[in-house]
Structure 1
Amino acid sequence: MPNEPKHIVTSFEADLKKLRDMIATMGGLVERAVADATTALLEHNPDLATRVIEQDPQINAEQHAVEQFAVRLLALRQPVADDLREVIQALKVVTDLERIGDYAANIAKRSIVINQVASTFALSGLGQMAMLVQQNLKSSIDTVGEASPEKAIAVWRADQAVDDLYNTIFRELITYMMEDARNITACTHLLFIAKNLERIGDHTTNVAELTYYAITGESLPDFRPKGDTTSNYMHNLNG
């Protein structure tokens, strides 16, 4: 916006900073939700799981606030070029963050059920997967504020490790279910938890892709490292 008065440009920069801060606030809530849902699962803490579920509406409210502010910027400021990309990025990023919050709530709900069925399965694999997902999520949210294309690419590439762990956990749980039908209930819930973590990883990668585009004006390749082979595994079992 080179032809606008300096005070207008400065004011718009302040608006963009506020937008980034709002995303950071929502991102912090989402990070906490994922961390607490994981802790509730691994430590068999139904009270913490319940708090994750109860706090999900706050994440939804933050999404609505960001969307309203971003639409207001589009209407009043009519940004172009990189400024426009940043505002559009914000609208899309908060959608991914809201979905991550939903998956965290789902993990919390299933962790409560897992406690009720007295599952004896080791949860170390899920714990490792959750740790990777949380690391990538934090990096992805930090990238939004730091405008770092290098960090966005690192998050984009890191999803492969999450998928590899998911594939391993999936196969283990399917094996337990095939060996003893009494394992089916607990393993089914654990499978859904693993899938929720995998989907959180996907939405985290989406945030990184959106951020990279907002910064550079270029898209990352359509194909990204994607290691979820569970659909093929199920096809082989059925075939």
Structure 2
Amino acid sequence: MSDFLFEAPEVKSIPVHGEDKPYPIHRIFCVGRNYAAHAAEMGAEVDREAPWYFTKAAAHAVASGTTQPYPPGTENYHYEMELAFAIGQPVFRASRDEAAAAIYAYGCALDMTRRDRQQDGKDHRRPWDLGKDVEGAAVFAPMTKAGTFAVAGQRIHLEVNGVVKQDATLSEMVWSCEEVVEHLSRYYHLRPGDVIMTGTPAGVGPVVAGDEITGGIDGLAPISVTIGAAD
């Protein structure tokens, strides 16, 4: 018999190369406008004083290789290819060295976005939740431990039905992973289970039902998702 009034939700997780057990997701933080070219294509500029964030619910995480329905309430559903990383130890008000030591693993991710709903939020100075915190819109590939992968100038790319749409390098990120942890830990007690998505390069665009999205970062497991019919 359950200890709760109804069946508790499943714990979402990400496979990790070399581990028998997956990494359980606690929270998902996302860095906004971390590539200058993407900010420009959205009609904005990078805030170079400090990174800033939005969140996605852990319940909305899904695995690479799955089919996800085209979501309701949008006519402009966009892909965003990203580097994600996972926190491996508690960290609060971290130094740069402590921030680096707290990163457990890296992986490919997709931040799927109801762009029209996000624009509604911008136009009316309201939160982006309807645009960003979408069911099935945080896609994660298996992760690689930080000891065997170091962020440098690796290529990051995305294709839709085999056609390249995004093609950049990780060196184009405005804020490094360590800088993000150092800054974000001023506001949160970060801990194992926290996953951070580091923003997308230029080239974002819409998909429709039937499209296959693939992507990759050199040295990490590739990612894919198929857009299914709307519910």
TM-score, normalised by the number of residues in structure 1: 0.22
Q: Which has the larger radius of gyration?
A: 1
TM-score, normalised by the number of residues in structure 2: 0.23
Structure number having the greater strand percentage: 2
